[in-house]
Structure 1
């Protein structure tokens, strides 16, 4: 009886928070996206997740939800498709969705070796990362998703506190209760001390972190036929080709829209050529099949 009461109370809190949110949002049309409001009306999870992360506190749940949806409007989350990102980002594969874990939750991969901080490209890379998380989060719903940090070949130059803080914002503030577990794959021993800082920044408890150094260990969480071939698994999929990624324009085509000069494109995006070559080498077995 007590358990039923708790469940009923939680449902009422979700309903109250949603009603308050919709009332405030309807009075501030310039700060909220109408598409998001329709999503909140039709999908309980988009309110429930904020109530859950705030342990049922109505005021805190509402405030976080309002801040998250104001951000979605200001950041243009609904205004971009995955293939609006530069072709070079997609083919460099610093971040991509692929397959599912044993609990049928979608998986997002971050290849740390491929990441390098370029101040001029920060915003566009954040938009790219947000697009992937938005895609996977919608696919996952209340089941949530898994994040694999592939640390193979990672060095100190790939460690960027600003990007980790942005990821923290996404997972903790804008998509709360979306990530069900983090899997850290093949982390070099010399970098393990800094992982404590990383865990603080992404705001996760230690129980949802798993360290794996082989495909065998990874297969405890992800089916072997979903683990990519280059990681020792049986999936020969081209991980640079995923739903919504086709037809992405080259950086040079996007330059005027993004406000970059030809010289800036040549300077910054030339750095991605090495990443793309590295990724293509990993895909060679796929192309031979």
Structure 2
């Protein structure tokens, strides 16, 4: 089925509130603001302003819970409390090592045929390193938040590039974090996910992920050729290493361009030089590979 003709892609009507939803939206938002007023320290003021100014930040919770106002309110309160406890607005580019960007484990780029921004996740780059888990979660959350804010009610797309993935890259804790991020904290943002180059032996794992992701997406596609990818992503927007025509350097995207190196960050977060050298060695090959791929070269 061609994604361009998929009824799920009807942006013009899907997320415009019906008269009934508009009534629900106003009720849930009013209750939310009443709850916040009783416990303001657990919420960011800018997030409260966001809810007041943008209907989507209430409607998305109502849609996710299929019109159940009590569930929508409960999830909405939980999501905005999490944003404060996680420190979403308390960090900036100086709190994330630029090696995360240079290794290109996850990065935003381009749009699908419906104008939805795309987030790429190169699974083979990921490693489960306990000391770096929180940093990577913060990095991923920052990108998702940025793209979610950019896309608004039209949503965004995830491309999981599974090329070269092995058992070393499988981390159920991170998968659970990603699922919570997309389902609980940013519901109804993800429109569909593409899995590119998934080995047959690993497809059952990704089928499980589809079940966990639930209705955050309505299409979960396996694409193992350039032609299949082009059903979703225009060739001019598709990265050259994936068979497209785009020469975007995904190791140097603007959002993290001025981030410090891991060596510069080490003293602030209590890492020794020996730890810095160890972690850098793990990702050194991925950084070199990403630079070649960003230039359209094979590895």
Q: For this structure pair, what is the TM-score category when the shorter chain's length is used for normalisation?
A: over 0.9
Deviation sequence 1:165-211 (CA, Å, 0-9, x none):
00000100000000000001011112112222222333347841011
Q: Does 1:228 align with 2:230?
A: no
In structure 2, what is the equivalent of residue 119 of structure 1? Answer: 130
In structure 1, what is the equivalent of residue 263 of structure 2? Answer: 252
Q: CA deviation at 1:69?
A: 0.4
SS at match of 1:96: strand
Contact 2:188 2:216 in 1 (8 A): no
Quote the RMSD (CA, aligned, Å): 1.6
In structure 2, what is the equivalent of residue 3 of structure 1? Answer: none
In structure 2, what is the equivalent of residue 187 of structure 1? Answer: 198
Deviation sequence 1:27-51 (CA, Å, 0-9, x none):
2122101110011111111111001
Q: Does 1:60 align with 2:71?
A: yes
In structure 2, what is the equivalent of residue 129 of structure 1? Answer: 140
CA distance in 2, matches of 1:285, 1:199: 31
Runs of at least 5 residues in structure 1 that lack an aligned partner in the other structure: 1-5
In structure 2, what is the equivalent of residue 90 of structure 1? Answer: 101
Q: Does 1:20 align with 2:36?
A: no
In structure 2, what is the equivalent of residue 280 of structure 1? Answer: 291
Q: What TM-score results when the alignment is normalised by the length of structure 2?
A: 0.90
Q: CA deviation at 1:83?
A: 5.4
Contact 1:40 1:46 in 2 (8 A): yes
In structure 2, what is the equivalent of residue 76 of structure 1? Answer: 87
In structure 1, what is the equivalent of residue 223 of structure 2? Answer: 212
Change (3 A) 1:219 1:281: same
SS at match of 1:211: strand
Q: What TM-score results when the alignment is normalised by the length of structure 1?
A: 0.93
Runs of at least 5 residues in structure 2 that lack an aligned partner in the other structure: 1-16
Pairs aligned (count): 281
Q: CA deviation at 1:262?
A: 2.3
